[in-house]
Amino acid sequence: MVRSATLPIQTPLPAAANDHNRLRLFSGSANFPLATEVARYLGLDLGPMVRKRFADGELYVQIQESIRGCDVYLIQPSCHPVNDNLMELLIMVDACRRASARQITAVIPYYGYARADRKTAGRESITAKLVANLITEAGASRVLAMDLHSAQIQGYFDIPFDHVYGSPVILDYLVNKNLSDIVVVSPDVGGVARARAFAKKLNDAPLAIIDKRRQAHNVAEVLNVIGDVKGKTTVLVDDIIDTGGTIYEGGRLLRQEGARQVYACATHAVFSPPAIERLSGGMFEEVIVTNTIPFLEEHRFPQLTILSVANLLGETIWRIHEDTSVSSMFR
C-alpha cells in the first residue's frame, strides 16, 4: 500500500513578514557596487546568481534560489558596454519570468540609448523605444529608472514606469557647501526645465541659459549666455556628461563672461574620451556626479566628487514594494 507523506503544518507568517520575504534583489554585472549599497539600505543580501560568458561570446544567467511568487528587483544600468549590459538584463528578466516570479522590476539607474528618443533625420531608428519593447517583451512587469534624458521615454513602455531623480542627492551636497551668489545654468535650451527645477530648490536661484548649436553627434558649438553670470557662482546642470564637450564649452563661456566660480553637476557620468582631459584641466572648481555608472580608478581626478544614489534607489524600491507613493519623495 502506498502511503501519502505527512507534511508538517506551518504557522503562517504575518502578512507584513510574508511581503518582506517576497522581496528579492539581484544585481547584473554592470554596477555591482551600487547594487550592494542598495541591498545594504534595504537590509537584504543580493540574491545568488551565476553569470558567465561562453567561448563564442554568448551570455548565460542562472538564478540560484527559488523566486516562485516573489517580487524580484534586478539592478542593471545599461552603461558601457551598452549592448552586453542590456542583453544581460534581458536574460535576467527572462530567467526570472521562467522561474515564476510574481513581479519583475527592472531597476535601470542609467538607461542606455535614451538619447535616440526621436527621429531627427530620415531613415533613423528610435532606439529608446526599441529598448523599451525589448524589456517589456522579455517579461518585465515594471521599470524603475533615474533621470531619463527625455521624460517622454516613460510613454514608450506599456507597463508601469517609475521615474526618479538624482537631483535631491546633488542638491543636498550643494546646500551643505553654503555657496553664495548662485546662478543655475542650463547648458542648452533642452535642459531648461531641469535647470529651472534645480534652481527652485536652491532658494529660487537665478537661471541662465547657454545657446548651443549641435553640428553633429557628440559635437556642439556654444554661442552665448542668456542671463547675468558676472561675478557669480555658476552651477551647470545636466543629466549626462558623455565626452564632456557641452559642459566644457559651457564652462569656458561662463569664464569668459566673468563667472567667479564654475561647478558642473550631472547624474550620469558616461565619461567617454576625451571627457577626463576636458574636465580635469582646471576649468571647474568641482565636477559633481553620481554613481549610477561605475567608475574606474583611472577616471578619478582631483575636482571629481561622486555621490551615491543607493539610498534613494533603495527607498524607491521599498515604496514600490509596499505600494506607497514614490512621487512624494520629491516634493
User: In this predicted model, what pLDDT tens digit does every residue of 111-167 receive, in sequence order?
Assistant: 999 999 999 899 999 999 999 999 999 999 999 999 999 999 999 999 999 999 999
**CATH number of 264's domain:** 3.40.50.2020
Residue 6 counted as domain residue: no
DSSP structure string for 228-255: --TTSEEEEEEEEESSSHHHHHHHHHHH
Verify that 81 and 97 share a domain, yes or no: yes
Domain that holds residue 183: 167-308
In a domain, 5, yes or no: no
Residues 185 and 301 both lie in one domain: yes
- Residue 126 domain flag: yes
Let me know if residue 234 belongs to a domain. yes
Cell numbers 549592448: residue: 83
Same domain flag for 120 and 257: no
Whether 253 and 277 share a structural domain: yes
Query: Does the structure show a pLDDT above 60 at 104?
Result: yes
**Do 21 and 72 belong to one domain?**
yes
Q: What is the pLDDT of residues 251-291, one digit of tens each?
A: 999 999 999 999 999 999 999 999 999 999 999 999 999 99
Q: How far apart (Å, rounded) are the C-alpha atoms in residues 6 and 3? A: 9
Q: Do residue 146 and residue 193 come from a single domain?
A: no
**Bridge-based pairing state of the strands 304-307 and 23-27:** unpaired
Does residue 2 belong to any structural domain of this protein? no
d(CA 287, CA 266): 8
- Predicted confidence (pLDDT) at residue 16 exceeds the cutoff of 80: no
> Within a domain: residue 87?
yes
Which residues have a catalytic role annotated?
Answer: 212
**Residue 10 covered by a domain:** no
| Co-location of 284 and 214 in the same domain | yes
Domain count, the chain: 2
Contacts of 299 (CB under 8 A, 6+ apart): 271, 276
Per the structure block, which three cell numbers stand in for 6?
505527512
For residues 23 and 83, state if they share a domain. yes
pLDDT of residue 12: 44
322 and 231, same structural domain?
Answer: no
How many CB atoms are closer than 10 A to CB 133?
12
On whether both 174 and 157 belong to a single domain, the answer is: no
In a shared domain, residues 261 and 291: yes
Same domain, 256 and 161: no
Model confidence over 181-232: pLDDT tens digits? 999 999 988 899 999 999 999 999 999 999 876 666 666 565 789 999 999 9
| Residue 9 covered by a domain | no
